[in-house]
Amino acid sequence: MKDILDEKEKILREKSLDVTFPISEERKKLVQDIIEFLTDSQIEELAEKYDLRPGMGLAAIQLGIKERFFVVVHEYEEGKFDNYVIFNPKLVSNSEEMIYVGEGEGCLSVNREVCGIVPRYARVTVEGYDQDGNKIRIRAREELAIAFQHELDHLDGILFTDRIDPKNPYKNKDLYREI
């Protein structure tokens, strides 16, 4: 798998382009590599063994590929994972309720400690396509909803740090629910 780009790379600020189908075998192989990487990074022994920072999601742009797709590997139970691969994703609905990650959001492209809250919707519905070009619709809540919003932002050239108020990193904290 290619190296994950650091936040200093200008391409991370660019808007990704829609993917055209069919997906190439090379792209399908990359998706499998990303799933394996993200899964391994969340299994403590493997993360230590291979010196991996834990990560739940990765957008293509983070690998320097300006295409609208991302992969999220969600550990829903100890050692059990669901994989989400969404091409040309769009947020089609969201809850009014807002949440944030109490310990702070992280990103595999941001290699520094960042303090502050990132307001996110508690529930979202995302539509897009699987790698075979079939239309998919996924409802997500809590940390999975946050991961989807985080990766969608990447596809629009937005980093989570952009969503933290620099003058008041914990602004309106009382208006949102901590998870």
Predicted local confidence at residue 2, as pLDDT: 75
Q: What is the C-alpha to C-alpha distance for residues 105 and 136, in angstroms, rounded to an integer?
A: 26
Distances (CA, A) of 52 to 13, 108, 143: 24, 10, 20
Residue of 154, 151, 126 whose CA lies nearest to 141: 126
Is residue 101 a contact partner of residue 57, using CB atoms and an 8 Å limit? no
pTM, 2 dp: 0.94
Is residue 136 a contact partner of residue 130, using CB atoms and an 8 Å limit? yes
Residue of 81, 59, 57 whose CA lies nearest to 146: 57
Which parts of the chain sit beneath pLDDT 50?
Answer: none
Contacts of 118 (CB under 8 A, 6+ apart): 100, 101, 104, 105, 146, 160, 163, 164
Predicted local confidence at residue 94, as pLDDT: 98
Q: Which two tokens stand for residue 108?
A: 């595999």
CATH architecture of 10-178: Alpha-Beta Complex (3.90)
Predicted local confidence at residue 168, as pLDDT: 94
Predicted local confidence at residue 99, as pLDDT: 97
- Phi and psi for 22 in degrees, rounded to 5? -75, 155
Catalytic residue among 14, 105, 113, 151: 151
**14 belongs to the catalytic site:** no
